[in-house]
Amino acid sequence: MTKLFPLKGQIQNYAWGGYQFIPELLGKAVTNTKCAEYWLGAHDKAPSSIITLNGEVPLNSFLNNNLETSIGHKVYEKFGRLPYLFKVLDVHDMLSIQVHPTKSEAEKGFKKENDLGIPLTASHRNYKDDNHKPEIMVALSEFWLLHGFLPETELKKILNQNPEFKDLIPVFEKGGYYGLYKTVMEESQEKTNATLKPLVDRILPLYKEGKLAKASPDYWAAKAVDASEDPSNLDKGIYSIYFFNIVKAEKGEAIFQDAGIPHAYLEGQNMELMANSDNVLRGGLTPKHVDVPELLKHVAFEATKPNIMKGELQSDGLERIYKSPAPDFELSQIKLSEANTYKSISKTAEILIVINGSVVFTQGESQVDCKKGDTVIVLANSPYTITSSAPESILYKASAP
């Protein structure tokens, strides 16, 4: 039985995406349509298409017809489905600040909203499914993001440096991270405007003159206002830009984001691998629904020390695995020259995308030639090899540990 198939993902045209990166990766014409994400997986919202001898079939349907043998007995027993969703992201404008729930909280929230009869497509719905959404990303370019609360001393320094935040110092000293965040998220829009307008008036001219560095929260706060459709109503997410770590990941570096860690992607391109979920609780920098009481239940109100991972190079010298505590997925990078052959046995259904170069996949008597932007899926328990037909080829692989 053939266990190696070409795979075609689905592009998501969100407003924060760029125009060029994803179309150019996929060898498509660049248009005036924003291309934010390229989904590779079996999520019911946007399943990939698996290309069989009988034509294209939605991956979720294909796997459901052969589930246990396709994803492997252990993964089937543990998850009952393909446990991950693989994406290419092109972040041109800032994403919303967001937090993901734990597995148990997702199950409770999903059931509660179902029992209330809230449609899955409702704009005020918080839980789109019953799963958690830990995620790991590897930068494909210089990549900027917000990631968790600053250490206490650094956050106090920020509050002291900005006269607009002086009134928040006693709030933080008395109520800690929770008290601080709750105060700004629950304040009226009028209060937010009054507090932040002097800050914006100070930093926006500097941003427009190119005088702010990306390592400064002033840069991202000004960019958020500059991109806003209604700059007179200032987004509460601007506070978070000053409260959270601003992280820069270089190409090939990774960062993991577990349940409860508030975060936001700011700029750049990455590979993202997550549990098979679309659950997002938003905290600002978005016109979408922000449910503050629900958000406050799930945020980890503690200092976060960002852990930038470079991955662990394997004994073959070709594969670099980015380890994380998530049981749902494992992300790795494979670099090949024409002199190398990568050999593996798939533990579960594995999805591999070629980011650079060109390669040949071989599994049994099946062979698939892939160029930049092409993707394959290898079903569970299948020995396969990859050879490069270019001086250097780079691939990313999604699997389960």
Which amino acid, 260? Answer: G
Quickly list H helices, 228-275: 237-243
Asked about 282 being catalytic, the answer comes back as yes
Pairing of strands 244-249, 366-371: unpaired
Question: Which residues fall within 8 angstroms of residue 270, CB to CB, at 6 or more apart?
Answer: 88, 89, 91, 137, 138, 139, 140, 141, 143, 249
Please tell me the distance from the alpha carbon of residue 234 to that of residue 199, in angstroms, as a whole number.
11
Residue given tokens 């579960």 in the structure block = 348
Cβ-contact 226, 175 below 8 angstroms: no
Residue of 81, 125, 282, 320 marked active site: 282
Instruction: Give Cα 176 to chain centroid, integer Å.
Output: 28
Residue 265 CA to its chain's centroid (Å): 8
Nearest by Cα to 238 from 163, 167, 304, 185: 185
Distance CA 120, CA 123 (A): 9
What amino acid positions are annotated as catalytic residues?
282
